Structure 1
Amino acid sequence: MFKRILSALSGKKSRTSTPVSSVHADASPPSDESELITVYDSYGREMKITRNEWRDNVLLPNLQQKWSDADELYSLIISGLNDGFVADLIPAAAQLVAIDSNPERSHVIQGIVLLENGQLDAAETTLRAGMAKVGATGTLLTNLAKVFTERGEQALADETLWRAVQTEPNLENGMLWWAAIQRERAGEEGYLQALRTVAALPGSWRAQLWRARHYLEHNDVEPARALYAEVLAGGRFDGGALMMISGDLGNNGQIPLIIELIGPVYDEHKHDAMAGINLLRAYQELGNADEGQALLARLYALGFMPIKSQLDQFAQVFEQMRKQDVQGVPIDPESLKFTTLALNQPIWHYGLRNADWFFAQKPEGASQVGFFAFSKSTDGAEHAESQREDELGRLSRAIPLYLAEAVHYWSDHVGTCYIQIVEGGGPVLSGAEADGQALFDIVPPMMKYFVTGEIGCSGEDDQVQWQIALSLWDCATRTKSATESGSAVKADLGALVLDLETRLLAGVGLGREAPLDSFYLRPTAEVLPVYLTELGQSFMLTLLANGHVPKSSMWGERAMLDWPLNMALHWPTLEVAKLMYICGLGKALDYQSDVLAEYKERSLQMLRELEQARSPALRLAPLVWKVFGMQAELHAYIRELPADTSPEHKAWLDRVSES
């Protein structure tokens, strides 16, 4: 029932101010103080707290905190009114009158608070005091009419309400209240005549929207369309009008009209975000993924957390729509330029501007264990073609990346991963396992072992069966020294990979009791499938950051940037997930991401939490500041460096500053 943003706890402003109500809420506040309220944190996650917790831990402390800030105090009073905490708002409403430079707003809100608390005479007094200062505005008159109604002075209430409508015909509460009274007295025709009467007043436009709704509900589309076109052409509508128009059109099956009428005029900075959501639904219904994704980018940029989960759902839908439109394209291998990338660090070390001062380093000349991207197990002939990445392709790279990472952290070898790509095209998924005998002549002299492998799957959905086969090659003897294999259903894939890791580490030797970096934790079987997805996505971001593939080829960018952050929130002790997120930001800066600005508030919130948790990842905060153009913070940090700061750390800060 209630939706709030927990950022109020830290004094952040919501995206828009709630307009002042002209009448008090009709619904009685819930009596159950244990009723759960939905709130959103800075990452857009929903949480549930009781009404009492909201009142005691959020509303009342924030009223005191914002006691001298009229705008903030007004917004909090509105929030308290909407949630039914009327008895707690009397002192705050009086304070607002004392400090607000907008006397209409403050006197209206105090009048509503007093009215809600049954103090009718005091409510009338404050409303008339407001009129003495700013004149008889529509909002003040409408609320004064409510006072008269509560007293049973109906004739005086009617007269006052009509004055309010004449003064401000587009004040929705007053106009609808007056029309509802006419319906009670003269039926549906009385209601329609009331709307026509209000529509005839100078400057009126809101009544036309309600007339259009009536036409739509009676399947008379053309008059409704004409009324909407008239209002939109006039340009005097408010931020909520487009939400009503788009909602009414959608509810009555007029999806194309939403795009035709709302699309050209919708401005996410001026109009209700839910109108944007309705427009996204229209794009989805009509299969227009390109326009939908363009609008998504604009709505994401608002940073408005209560709609983020909905935007994420639309993002997935539009991505899927685009994928369905793309088929595999046969290609001539002879026309392609192939490159093999050698990654001698975990993939999430890249993008951090060579933070060698942060990570423990292997000694010069350490022996190497190489991992080649897996091939795809096949039953027959394979033809070369270009296609979008699927789960099998991602795992063919992610599992070797993980095993190389395991060697890096749990042995004294250097783990290196080799992945072949097509320049401008992306990774290569081969249909045949690499020939180990041929590789002996091209691997570096320090290579002690290398691993090749195959991966395949059969079945569908949760019943898919994964098969993995690995070969361990000994460079000293130029022989295959071991083979390891296994199969697992999707739910057991993490356990299978961990088992293969254990067997491989035993085979290559030089094991460590503790990880190379003390913060490193081996992912559990539950975490590992999610972890592998991130490794595959991080590799794709690395290709983008280094210009191996064009930005236009990217799919699901937000999902890739969000993934490690969601991991960090779900598994707070997984320090690597926080580093993965920062590394993704660094790569996004390199390829000049168009969506990066959306992540500023979430990233700064993460830094605050890293500081509270004393996380090692906080030491990379200068890169986050650089990503978001926070030069003052970056330069202040550099000026205040301790005298014993290492040369490697200073060199890293120079790279961050110059990037």
Structure 2
Amino acid sequence: MFKRILSALSGKKSPSSQVASVTPAPEANNEPITVYDAYGREINITRSEWRDKVFLPNLQLKWNEAGEIYNLIISGLNDGFAVDLLPATERLLEIDDIPERSYTIRGIVLMKNGLLNEAEDVLRTGITKAGETATLLTNLAKVFAERGNQTRADEILWQALKTDPNLENGLLWWASVQRERGGEAGYLQALHSVAALPGSWRAKLWLARHHLEREETQAARALYVQVLTDGLYDGSSLMMISGDLGNNGQIPLILELIGPIYDEHKHDPMAGLNLLKACLELGKVDEGDALLSRMYALGLVPFKQYLDQFAQAFQEMREQAAQSMPVDPDNLKVTTLALSQPIWHYGLRNADWLFAQKPENAPKVGFFALSKIMDGSERVESQREDDLGRLSRAIPLYLAEAVHYWSDYATSCYIMIVEGGGPVVSGGENDGNALFDFVPPEMKYFVTGEIGSSGEGDAIQWQISLSLWDCSTRAKQASESGKATQAELGAMVLKLEKRLLTRIGLKREQALDTFYQHPNAEVMLVYLTELGQAFMLTLLANKHVPKSGLWGERAMLEWPLNMALHWPTVEIPKLMYFSGLGKALDYKSDVLPEYKERSMQLLREAERSNSHATRLAPLVWKIFGMSDELQAHMDAQSTDATPEYQAWLQRVSEQ
């Protein structure tokens, strides 16, 4: 995957004779076009649909904004809509205060439509208004070339290069023409002649590529150092340099030459991806993660999929480097956390007005984290979270949630952690007899259990056993167990849930919150993964573990968002997502700003569907520092707002 990405990032393989800064797309109306939505998801629509439903309406919408019209014209040329752009270029001539830009693009569109005489007139008029700029001259030369008058085209093109030797289209056209006439020697002579012009630097990049392809690394490096030291390069140059170095096996030089000067706000993001590839190749995980955070913050939707791939690769490198370390149990500070709400209720600033509350005197059921079925060879050690460890917590968290929503019991979930270290997975099932005095006196039942696995991948076999303990008789009342493959695990959890609810009674026919929907077997593993990740974010938010020990943060924050996008009619993933962001605010996440636009889009969609998630907008405003919106909402509250809601708004504003 990353080799394919790197090859896609390299500069052009050879100079092109194309003068305009756009490349026309094929004209087939049914050809798919890839676009991206606000969440970074790819959407494929046909060219005709894009033209009629998106592009042309958007062009009309921006009819009075010169910069927007220009950008859309460029986009339309790239998509092969030149015939539709004549009115827009005429409009641009009327309103644009940058004559070079408007007359150039008008001339290009006229040429694309075969109107060469009109194009020449427009370009010459542009020259009278803006002067003999390299861009106008280069496109004027193209008019003569299209007519077959190459001699006159050469004269005007060389005049353009003397005006600006670094105009990429002019340079590449000149070099291509000389190669056609004089072969490789003619091509090199063309580059050297342009490189000798005052202020020239771009030709040196092409000469450096020539040296790299012949393994003349020092000669190429000297040219790069000269260009970069003078600081005369443009935003796209670093992409070409890093791509050429990567394609020719000079990965360390990418970090040496490009790393110190790359500015994601000024330079081509492709250069940033090449830097990330270099960090990955050289094992520079910390440098790669730091650059990732900077690039994620730009919110460049088309690049997000590549950033996600690099983030996963860096995380895998960290995991491979991490070693399981034996620990001394006597030196650990172990704490048992008692969670009295579904794990995704946390982080929402005690939104008790949003969720139905159980009466204080409701009977209680407790759930303890599952223990690991031991084979006798394990030892106590510190290690990264794995599937078994995550499920040992996620399954009781889910069962507690199910009892909370589908029975009249109140619930608590008990999970042991090492302060500063993380969750504990104990070996061998907890002895319920030792827990009767641990649970509060109002507890009616509690549940313990074990989990184990054998095999790997799709062939893995899971084994789960649960024990229901009756606090009034201080005895085990029942046991339930099951075995399942990975594909069958979700169904097994649902069977255990159903048996458990039957055993304890007080079952509800309707969920405590009417918007709560029961996850089915198909989605259960996805749901359990989210519960496990939500627990880890809760530990961070409450300072039980350090932020430095967090891996895969973006994956954790995005998991419920992806659930919400996949199941847009289901409420709970949206609430889970905002809950995670609330926790990220608590532990002062560095990546939080990356999620602003996606969160705003989710809120907008939630409002259109009358989702309960819309009611959490004040928290989202607080998370992203939108103080004006939050204050305006608080000021607009009527006197009939509930005290619980008013108190919640105050908590949100103060935290």
What's the TM-score bracket when you normalise by the shorter of the two chains? over 0.9
CA offsets per residue over residues 215-256 of structure 1, 9 Å max, x none? 111121111111111111111101110111111111111111
Corresponding residue for 2:12? Answer: none
Does residue 398 (structure 1) correspond to residue 426 (structure 2)? The answer is no
Instruction: Give 1:459's aligned amino acid.
Output: G
Residue from 221, 224, 237 that aligns with 1:225: 221
Alpha-carbon contact 1:399-1:532 (below 8 Å) kept: yes
Residue from 331, 336, 349 that aligns with 2:345: 349
Using structure 1 for the length normalisation, give the TM-score: 0.96
Using structure 2 for the length normalisation, give the TM-score: 0.96
Does residue 575 (structure 1) correspond to residue 571 (structure 2)? The answer is yes
Residue from 206, 211, 215 that aligns with 1:210: 206
SS in 2 for 1:270: coil
Aligned-pair identity in percent equals 69
Instruction: Give 1:170's aligned amino acid.
Output: N
Deviation above 4 Å: which 4+ runs of structure 1?
Answer: 25-28
Pair 135,22 (structure 1): closer, same or farther in 2 beyond 3 Å: farther
Q: For 1:220 and 1:257, how far apart are their aligned partners in 2?
A: 14
Q: For 2:65 and 2:455, how far apart are their aligned partners in 1?
A: 62
Residue from 452, 456, 459 that aligns with 2:452: 456
Residue from 422, 427, 431 that aligns with 2:423: 427
Q: For 1:298 and 1:369, how far apart are their aligned partners in 2?
A: 46
**1:144 offset after TM fit, Å?**
0.3
Instruction: Give 1:457's aligned amino acid.
Output: S
Q: For 2:581 and 2:25, how far apart are their aligned partners in 1?
A: 44
Q: Within 5 A, what are the aligned runs for 1:499-510?
A: 499-510=495-506
Which stretches in structure 1 are left out of the alignment for 5+ residues? 1-20
Corresponding residue for 2:634? Answer: 638
SS in 2 for 1:39: strand
SS in 1 for 2:450: strand
Q: For 1:27 and 1:420, how far apart are their aligned partners in 2?
A: 61
Q: For 2:121 and 2:508, how far apart are their aligned partners in 1?
A: 79
Q: Within 5 A, what are the aligned runs for 1:13-32?
A: 23-24=19-20, 29-32=25-28
Instruction: Give 2:65's aligned amino acid.
Output: D
CA offsets per residue over residues 600-659 of structure 1, 9 Å max, x none? 000001011001111011000100000000011111111112332100000000000001
Q: Does 593-602 or 566-575 show the bigger shift?
A: 566-575
SS in 2 for 1:491: coil
Q: For 1:526 and 1:229, how far apart are their aligned partners in 2?
A: 57
CA offsets per residue over residues 317-341 of structure 1, 9 Å max, x none? 1001011111111111111111111
SS in 2 for 1:192: helix
CA offsets per residue over residues 165-223 of structure 1, 9 Å max, x none? 11010001001101111111111101101100100111111000100111111121111
Q: For 1:26 and 1:342, how far apart are their aligned partners in 2?
A: 61
Q: Within 5 A, what are the aligned runs for 1:245-394?
A: 245-394=241-390
Corresponding residue for 1:555? Answer: 551
**1:573 offset after TM fit, Å?**
2.0
Corresponding residue for 1:520? Answer: 516
Corresponding residue for 1:129? Answer: 125
Corresponding residue for 1:237? Answer: 233
Q: For 1:456 and 1:51, how far apart are their aligned partners in 2?
A: 53
Corresponding residue for 2:149? Answer: 153
Instruction: Give 1:587's aligned amino acid.
Output: K
**1:492 offset after TM fit, Å?**
1.0
Alpha-carbon contact 2:541-2:586 (below 8 Å) kept: yes
Q: For 1:163 and 1:25, how far apart are their aligned partners in 2?
A: 19
Q: For 1:519 and 1:27, how far apart are their aligned partners in 2?
A: 51
Alpha-carbon contact 1:170-1:206 (below 8 Å) kept: yes
* Alignment RMSD (CA, Å): 1.1
Corresponding residue for 1:58? Answer: 54
Residue from 576, 594, 601 that aligns with 1:605: 601
**1:24 offset after TM fit, Å?**
3.0
**1:381 offset after TM fit, Å?**
4.5
CA offsets per residue over residues 514-562 of structure 1, 9 Å max, x none? 0000100011111110110000000000000011111001000000000
**1:411 offset after TM fit, Å?**
0.2
Instruction: Give 1:195's aligned amino acid.
Output: L
Instruction: Give 2:252's aligned amino acid.
Output: P
CA offsets per residue over residues 87-138 of structure 1, 9 Å max, x none? 0000001111111111111111111111111111111111111111111000
Alpha-carbon contact 1:22-1:139 (below 8 Å) kept: no
**1:27 offset after TM fit, Å?**
5.5
Instruction: Give 1:645's aligned amino acid.
Output: A
Q: For 1:75 and 1:26, how far apart are their aligned partners in 2?
A: 11
**1:574 offset after TM fit, Å?**
2.0
Alpha-carbon contact 1:25-1:82 (below 8 Å) kept: no
Does residue 196 (structure 1) correspond to residue 205 (structure 2)? The answer is no
Residue from 63, 78, 96 that aligns with 2:74: 78
